[in-house]
Amino acid sequence: EREAAEREAAEREAAERAELERAAQQREREERERSREARRAQREAEQRAALEAAVREAAERAAERSALDRAAERAAKSEKAAAAALRAAAATAAHRAAAEAQGGAEREAVRAREAAVAAEEAATEAAEKAAAAVNLATDCEQAAEAAAAATAAAEAARTACEAEAAAAAAEAAASYNEAPARLDQGSSSSAAEAPVPREEEPPHDFTCPITTEVMSDPVMAADGHSYERKQIERWLATKSTSPLTGGALEHPYLTPNHMLRRQIRDWEGARKAV
């Protein structure tokens, strides 16, 4: 009986140990499961955080692109407005120059006609003196020939002046400056020389607001104004404001102003031709 009791006690103890081991294993499995769940939750949280960060970055990039698009649109509108203003200014200047050239040509034509009349009167007077003074026939004939040549030169100069005045202001001015000189060689009367045209000032939009000199490589900044590339790059290296208005610039990007560059080159070519 004692042995049976001991065996029974041993069996109960073994059963209890087995039950404890099973409970420990169950707790261990549950702990591992909770650890896996925690790691899974942590990974999901990290993934959600990364996704939110990517969404925020994409939103920021979209906002930046939108701002750049708006700035480019404003720059394009400013460029169109500047081009329209330049075309209007060029048309006004061309009309003014044409009117001044036409007025100058008309004045020169009047002077040429007056000089031609004076030359004809001198030729008539020389011919009368030649008929009266027989002993000076040779000199009178020479004077008459000179007067006739002067009359022909005056008539040719008057015709050339009227034709060239309708062609172009620059050619008319050059031709009319030569006409009085030809008339003075064969006539006693002299025509006033045409005034020397003063050097044309460059349009305001062609000059850099920083250097006030004509630009060779114009670029447009965020304020909608054009500057010489080297000057505005030197400015933006230390500042973030507009050199012209003093206001803060939305961005430091520069856009080449090809239309303004072509207009400056055309203006310089026309000035050199004159």
Binning pLDDT at 50, 70 and 90, where does residue 176 land? very low
Instruction: Determine the Cα–Cα distance for residues 18 and 15; give it in Å rounded to an integer.
Output: 5
Residue 92 pLDDT: 77
pLDDT in tens, 210-226: 999 999 999 999 999 99
Residue 144 sits at the vertex; the CA angle it makes with 139 and 150, to the nearest 5 degrees, is 125
Please determine, for residue 91, whether its predicted confidence score (pLDDT) is greater than 60: yes
Query: Rg for the chain (alpha carbons), in Å?
Result: 49
Residue 9 pLDDT: 92
Residue 87 pLDDT: 82
Binning pLDDT at 50, 70 and 90, where does residue 234 land? very high
Residue 165 pLDDT: 39
Residue 174 token pair:
């050059």
Location of structure tokens 């909608």? 224
Instruction: Give the mean pLDDT of the chain.
Output: 75
Q: Which residues of 68-84 are buried (b: 16+ CB within 10 A; e: fewer)?
A: eeebeeebeebbeebee
Give me the long-range contacts of 232-240 (CB less than 8 A, separation at least 24): 235/210
Residue 85 pLDDT: 76
Instruction: Determine the Cα–Cα distance for residues 197 and 172; give it in Å rounded to an integer.
Output: 12
- The pTM of this model reads 0.31
Q: Which residue has the higher pLDDT, 230 or 132?
A: 230
Residue 173 pLDDT: 41
pLDDT, mean of residues 17-30: 94
